[in-house]
Structure 1
Amino acid sequence: MKKIFVLFSIVLLSAAEGQSQAVLDRFHDKARSRAEQRADQAMDRAIDKAEEAITQKPEKKESGKNEQKETARALPANEAGAAFKSYSSYDFVRGENVKYAEDFSQDVIGEFPVHWATNNRGEAVTIDGLPNQWMRMFIGEFVSPEIKKLPESFTVEFDMLLTYMGNDEQDFGAIFPKFEWQLLQLAPGGESARLFAQGGNEISKLSLVVQPAYEDRSSIYIQSYDKGNMYFEGGNKDLKKFSNNYRKPFHVAIWVQKQRLRCWINEEKVYDIPQAIAPQTAFNHLGFLMSDNNQEENVGVFVSNIRISEGAADMRSKLITEGKLVTNGILFDSNSDNIKPESAAVLKEIASVMKENTQVRVRIEGYTDSDGEDAKNLDLSRRRAEAVKNALASVYKIDASRMDTKGMGEAKPVADNTTKEGRSQNRRVEFIKL
């Protein structure tokens, strides 16, 4: 895939034995220690040097976990329109009940994520200009912890970044490994049994396979297995049309409804297959597989912001009949009130409900998790609620007089703030029928 990927320099910091506790403390304390400050300064110097080779230096962002760290601004109407324009046909609606969430924030930089399993190696890393931590994957298999009680209808999302780590421009297709995004149903014994028994406890598997080739002929295809036998194989799709997505992190979204599978890469729907998954399949793990490469040190494959959620809400019923709609599908930039463009489908659905019910007025309430100071979380939630109102008014032409806003901060949590899944549930927007 000649010249598809641009050089993206990554600085990986390995935690020394004497610093391990200090690194872990960063995720529990609001103030950083002197050791961490020195590490950050060293990382910044290394990043600045590496970025001299990049044509366009990415804007730096603070990547702390506390939501109040950045001073964000409301989303103006013109920016809302620009952000959602490319997502005008995006119809992915993420599930509302979070079953699993992972951004590797609890892991020590340079070490393998503690909750995952592998038959080779990987490491938690930071990437300049991007929020959260990421898992870098080398050649091998990577399996998530068990995801219990995954229903027939659910959504899977994650961000990936694919880069060449060398110093010279290379033909990516010649060295980049084949890799798979996998949904797995494993028998009792979990991920370890799979890795060390050559997949002997695998019941069902769904794979989205990216197969590199020379001269921009890379492709993606689907394979589905049940009890070791091929159940479905989808046709190849040329990935050349998506090449621009791989110059920076790209978002993968998968929606499973019983046997139906839909898959999006960023705003484009790649697959919509009515019977891609064997009946009675009950996936309980997420997996990644990398193979066919002998230059793993020169290839960067990173994943983060993983979220698996149970079925999407019936917005019409929730808002009109029950009088209250709670959604985690309106996403914001980290520590900001800027709405992410992949929120377009949810906002479009809500706007459709309000257009069909022209007498309905709503109060839009913003909520945060408990990380950070109460007052700053309250202000952030207020600005996020106002940003949602602005988007509905400017982009979807809902009369602003029909919408009030209120910031609730970290009040009224709906889940446990001590877990990632719980914090993800608590970061939400509620629509209350007035």
Structure 2
Amino acid sequence: MKKFVFIALLHMPLAVFSQSAILDKIKQKAEARAERRVDGAIDKSMDKAEEEVDGQLKQPAKKQKSEKEKPAQTVPQDAGKPNTGLKSYSKFDFIPGERIVYTEDFAGDAIGELPLKWTTNNRGETVTIDKLPGNWMRLFPASRFTSPAAGKLPENFTLEADLVLQFGDEGGYVYPELELKLLGLAPGEQSPRNYVVNQDAAHEVALVIAAAGAGKPLSVSLKSYAKGTEYFSNQAKELKISSDNDGKPLHISVWVQKERIRYWINGEKVFDIPQAVPPTSSFNRVGLSLESSLYTEDQLGMFISNIKVAEGTPDLRSKLITEGKLVTNGILFDVNSDRIRPESAGVLKGIAAVLQENATVRVKITGHTDSDGDAAQNTDLSKRRAKAVQAALQTEYGIAAARMETDGLGESKPVADNNTKEGKASNRRVEFIKL
């Protein structure tokens, strides 16, 4: 196969001499010397270009991932090293609920289609986002959405989700507000439709996210309703986060305890309000709404994924010290990697505090995975994740490595059904066993 190499030659400066001072012989030598330099530059350029072409030809073609295909499991270069991303969440004290009741990452949904069992009055699509893993649901302006039923949630539960906001060039228009909601809809098949069409919700708590413009700080506010009547609202609070968050997802964490509600965004606590939730509330779905906008679709993008609702809050000290075993789904990792995600900081900090208070206690850290992928690779991945947790506790929180053993059992010890998303999320866990 022939190689075609395209080379751009830079103009090479030649000294300018006075004609009266140039002898023919010197001129000939100067021209010959310049020609040799050009030849040398060409040779170097061709060598470099050929190396680049060879490298490209030797690389395997990039394979388009199917909708259900997961990335290949590989050992990252930073395996076992401290996770510096945890430092950005150093004040994060959110601990997710103990039992996962609803989770959604849109992994099984068809690209370009509204996710299954979600309801909208307008339009939504399952999409992928360049340089971000997994699938996302794109929200279009003038739309309301409701998730499938999560069951009747108790007084104490948590919600987590990732949001991506993309804004194009300034167009002089107001950016639409995005609302992330907890919904309490009446029973019946028509309830989701009634909500998205008529905004008929028995109870509702909404985090309102607004952007003044591209690259400008985000602001958030909170409002709640009891049977359609406003119960609580507050003034907008400006965040130290720009509207696009440097292209990274915003991680939203919510903790409801009866009438009290707390919100964290990227590890920063933004609200802790004792009486914002109507006392008669009963929630069972996640909702979203996006205002109408004059911006075109290529100027505006709103996306959500990695939704997780969990019941209760584990007592870390009681579980580990009294019962002798602590199981958590709150230590999260990048896909097929042992790199700990920064939103795990609250759980790690809580476990570290228990170990610091009980200086003689030793623990065994065991990693577990779901059944997706190769069993042997899952076992290896679970072992590396357990070691990563040990390294984080040692490096970030000062727990002596000698107090911790590690192991990984992969997919061999499931605690839930691997045929459901909630079951898989429960099986992706880390266990701490008192020795």
Q: After TM superposition, is the score higher than 0.5?
A: yes
Tell me which residue corresponds to 2:12.
none
1:268-299 deviation line (CA, Å, top 9, x unaligned): 11111111101131111111101131335131
| TM-superposed deviation, 1:75 | 4.1
Sort the Cα spacing of 1:124 and 1:241 in 2 relative to 1 into closer, same or farther, 3 A.
closer
The alignment-based identity, stated in percent, is 51
Question: Per the alignment, in what secondary structure is the counterpart of residue 120 of structure 1?
Answer: coil
Q: Which amino acid aligns with 1:349?
A: G
Distance 1:366 1:266 in 2: 25
Out of 132, 138, 153, the residue aligned to residue 136 of structure 1 is: 138
Distance 1:103 1:193 in 2: 25
| TM-superposed deviation, 1:395 | 1.2
Out of 163, 167, 172, the residue aligned to residue 166 of structure 2 is: 163
Question: Per the alignment, in what secondary structure is the counterpart of residue 193 of structure 2?
Answer: helix
Tell me which residue corresponds to 1:4.
none
Question: Per the alignment, in what secondary structure is the counterpart of residue 276 of structure 1?
Answer: coil
Distance 2:372 2:392 in 1: 26
1:140-161 deviation line (CA, Å, top 9, x unaligned): 1011011103111111111111
Tell me which residue corresponds to 1:204.
203
| TM-superposed deviation, 1:194 | 1.9
Tell me which residue corresponds to 2:157.
154
1:74-123 deviation line (CA, Å, top 9, x unaligned): 5444x42x222111111111112111111111111111111200000111
Question: Per the alignment, in what secondary structure is the counterpart of residue 395 of structure 1?
Answer: helix
Which blocks of at least 5 consecutive residues in structure 1 are unaligned? 1-36, 44-61
Greater RCO (Cα-Cα under 8 Å, separation 6 or more): 1
Out of 76, 92, 95, the residue aligned to residue 94 of structure 2 is: 92
Which blocks of at least 5 consecutive residues in structure 2 are unaligned? 1-59
Q: Does structure 1 retain, via aligned residues, the 8 Å contact 2:67–2:110?
A: no
Distance 1:418 1:272 in 2: 37
Tell me which residue corresponds to 1:71.
75
Question: Per the alignment, in what secondary structure is the counterpart of residue 397 of structure 2?
Answer: coil
Question: Per the alignment, in what secondary structure is the counterpart of residue 409 of structure 1?
Answer: coil
Question: Per the alignment, in what secondary structure is the counterpart of residue 348 of structure 2?
Answer: helix
Sort the Cα spacing of 1:192 and 1:244 in 2 relative to 1 into closer, same or farther, 3 A.
closer
Tell me which residue corresponds to 2:291.
291
Q: Who wins on radius of gyration, i.e. which is larger? A: 2
| TM-superposed deviation, 1:214 | 5.9
Q: Which amino acid aligns with 1:282?
A: S
Distance 2:69 2:334 in 1: 12
Tell me which residue corresponds to 1:266.
266
Sort the Cα spacing of 1:318 and 1:74 in 2 relative to 1 into closer, same or farther, 3 A.
farther
| TM-superposed deviation, 1:71 | 3.1
| TM-superposed deviation, 1:249 | 1.5
Tell me which residue corresponds to 1:145.
148
- Alignment of structure 1 residues 32-431 onto 2, 5 Å: 66=70, 69-73=73-77, 75-77=79-81, 79-80=82-83, 82-139=84-141, 140-164=143-167, 169-171=169-171, 174-189=173-188, 190-196=191-197, 198-200=198-200, 202-213=201-212, 216=216, 219-239=219-239, 241-243=241-243, 245=245, 247-297=247-297, 298-431=299-432
Q: Which amino acid aligns with 2:154?
A: P
Number of aligned pairs? Answer: 371
Q: Does structure 2 retain, via aligned residues, the 8 Å contact 1:162–1:246?
A: no
Q: Which amino acid aligns with 1:255?
A: W
| TM-superposed deviation, 1:127 | 1.1
**Two-structure CA RMSD over aligned residues (Å):** 2.3
Distance 1:320 1:183 in 2: 34
| TM-superposed deviation, 1:342 | 1.2
Please give the TM-score of this superposition, normalised by the length of structure 1.
0.80
Q: Which amino acid aligns with 1:163?
A: Q
Question: Per the alignment, in what secondary structure is the counterpart of residue 387 of structure 1?
Answer: helix
Distance 2:63 2:79 in 1: 30
| TM-superposed deviation, 1:334 | 0.7
Q: Which amino acid aligns with 2:123?
A: R
1:165-205 deviation line (CA, Å, top 9, x unaligned): x5xx325x724212211111011233123224x133x1110
